[in-house]
Copies of this chain bind each other. A is one copy, B any other.
Amino acid sequence: MTLHEVPTLLHRCGDCPIRHRAVCARCDSEELTTLEQIKYYRSYQAGQTVIWSGDKMDFVASVVTGIATLTQTLEDGRRQMVGLLLPSDFVGRPGRQTVAYDVTATTDLLMCCFRRKPFEDMMQKTPHVGQRLLEMTLDELDAAREWMLLLGRKTAREKIASLLAIIARRDASLKLRDAKGPLTFDLPLTREEMADYLGLTLETVSRQVSALKRDGVIALEGKRHVIVNDFARLLEEAGDDSDGGLPV
């Protein structure tokens, strides 16, 4: 999707699909008007790199549609995904120019961008943007800490189950279904990307997915479409508290 093909209806913030969750969620209509004047869209194809670690980033942005990943890399090539950006998530950091990780489009991606300076000015003038950004950043920090527990202490099987549970739950919330009946969803990540997220190798991911299937925790249609008949069972396998951790 190129810039010209962005549906014009998106240009009105009131119709934006991420209006109620993004960094602009708290803005009143007057503030939205200001944002509308400085925002612009960028789109990326699946697989494209949005920014390289260490590069200067002259804009900040919200994910409108699609999925992006944040990854860090060691000198010898070991990779660790440190974040998954879903629609409404925010990229970039007011007050700092460079970014500390690669940002990559995993699917086709549409982002709502703001040049850094006008955005920072706006943050000074209107408190709502900064307040919302603080809230979102605190949520991300909680999520990162939960992921630290997974990376440091969970087994490969528990890691896979945790990831599937997270994707299932998010997908259900998008589709506005409850998490009771059989859930089905598509994996937005390759086995290798899953491995990079979970701190495993792609072979171990493949083996554990097969094991969960063999044990009846999940079923597969093709390689990517997952069916979860008993979500509580999946949560057990994830090793979390029975309540399943954070909502959403």
Residues of A within 8 A of B (CB): 70, 72, 74-76, 78-80, 82-83, 93-96, 100-101, 124, 127, 130-131, 133-135, 137-138, 140-142, 144-149, 151-154, 198-199, 239-241, 246
Contact = CB atoms under 8 A, between A and B. Distances in A.
B145 A83 contact: yes
B153 A93 contact: no
Contact of A148 (B78, B82, B95, B96): B82
Contact of A151 (B100, B127, B137, B151): B151
A153 to B, nearest CB: 4
A145 B75 contact: no
B198 A100 contact: no
Q: Tell which of A82, A145, A149, A152 has the most Cβ of chain B within 10 Å.
A: A152
Q: Tell which of A79, A82, A239 has the most Cβ of chain B within 10 Å.
A: A82
Nearest to A147: B148
Contact of A152 (B124, B198, B239): B198
A221 B17 CA distance: 60
Contact of A199 (B74, B146, B151): B151
B144 A145 contact: yes
B145 A101 contact: yes
A95 B135 contact: yes
17 contacts: A70-B145, A74-B153, A74-B154, A74-B240, A75-B239, A76-B239, A80-B149, A82-B149, A83-B145, A93-B138, A94-B134, A100-B246, A127-B127, A134-B134, A141-B144, A151-B152, A152-B198
Given A127-B130, A137-B138, A72 B149 contact: yes
Given A70-B145, A147-B148, A78 B130 contact: no
A103 to B, nearest CB: 12
Q: Tell which of A130, A153, A240, A246 has the most Cβ of chain B within 10 Å.
A: A153
A135 B141 CA distance: 13
Contacts of A144: 141, 144-145, 148
A198 B124 CA distance: 39
Contacts of A149: 72, 74, 80, 82
Contact of A74 (B75, B95, B239): B239
